[in-house]
Amino acid sequence: MIEIVLHGGYQRCATTFLQEKVFFQLKEYECLSKPHDFYFNKNSKNIFLENKQTNTGQNYELMQLQNEVFPRKYSFQNNLPFNLDYRMKKYKNCLVKAIKKSDKKKFILSDETIFDRINYFGDTNLLVLAEIINSIKNEMDLKIKVILTIRNQIDLMSSIYSFDHYRQKKNFKSLDNFLEKFTSPDNYEYGEIFNFYDQYKKLRFFFSEEILILPLEQLEKTPQVYFNRIKNFLNTEFKISENKSVKKLSTITKKGRSFALRENKFQRTFEFFSKIHSFLNLFDFYKKFYQDSKQLKRFKNSLREKMKFTKTGEIEIDYFKQKKVKSFYSESNKAISKESGIDLGSLGYF
| CA distance readout (Å), 10 to 114, 213, 318 | 9, 11, 23
Query: Which pLDDT belongs to residue 82?
Result: 82
- What does the mean pLDDT of the chain come to? 85
Query: Which pLDDT belongs to residue 44?
Result: 44
304 found inside a domain: no
326 found inside a domain: no
302 found inside a domain: no
Most confident of 27-41, 205-219, 230-244: 205-219
Lowest pLDDT segment from 107-111, 136-140, 154-158, 186-190: 186-190
pTM of the model: 0.83
Q: Residue 95 above 50 pLDDT?
A: yes
Reported as a single tens digit per residue, the pLDDT across 138-163 is: 999 999 999 999 999 999 999 999 98
Higher per-residue pLDDT: 297 or 95: 95
Q: Residue 334 above 90 pLDDT?
A: yes
Reported as a single tens digit per residue, the pLDDT across 271-317 is: 777 778 777 877 888 877 766 677 776 777 776 666 666 777 888 89
201 found inside a domain: yes
Query: Which pLDDT belongs to residue 314?
Result: 86
Q: Residue 322 above 60 pLDDT?
A: yes
Q: Residue 200 above 60 pLDDT?
A: yes
76 found inside a domain: yes
Q: Residue 263 above 90 pLDDT?
A: no
59 found inside a domain: yes
- Cβ count within 10 A of residue 251: 11
- Three-point CA angle 150, 116, 333, nearest 5°: 30
Span 23-29, mean pLDDT?
Answer: 91
284 found inside a domain: no
Higher per-residue pLDDT: 251 or 143: 143
Number of domains making up the chain: 1
Domain hosting 25: range is 2-245
Cα–Cα dist 24/44, whole Å: 12
Span 129-144, mean pLDDT?
Answer: 97
Angle between helices 319-340 and 153-163 (to 10 degrees): 120
340 found inside a domain: no
Q: Residue 12 above 80 pLDDT?
A: yes
Span 96-103, mean pLDDT?
Answer: 94
Identify the CATH number of the domain in which residue 227 sits: 3.40.50
Confidence at 91, pLDDT banded by 50, 70, 90:
very high
Query: Which pLDDT belongs to residue 307?
Result: 61
3-state SS track over the chain: CEEEEEECCCCCCCHHHHHHHHHHHCCCEEECCCCHHHHCCHHHHHHHHHHCCCCHHHHHHHHHHHHHHCCEHHHCCCCCCCCHHHHHHHHHHHHHHHHHHCCCCEEEEECCCCCCCCCECHHHHHHHHHHHHHHHHCCCCEEEEEEEEECCHHHHHHHHHHHCHHHHHHHHCCHHHHHHHHHCCCCHHHHHHHCHHHHHHHHHHHCCCCEEEEEHHHHHHCHHHHHHHHHHHHCCCCCCCHHHCCCCCCEECCCEEEEEEEECCCHHHHHHHHHHHHHHCCCHHHHHHHHHCHHHHHHHHHHHHHCCCEEEEEEEEEHHHHHHHHHHHHHHHHHHHHHHCCCCHHHCCC
Query: Which pLDDT belongs to residue 199?
Result: 97
CB 290 within 8 A of CB 296: yes
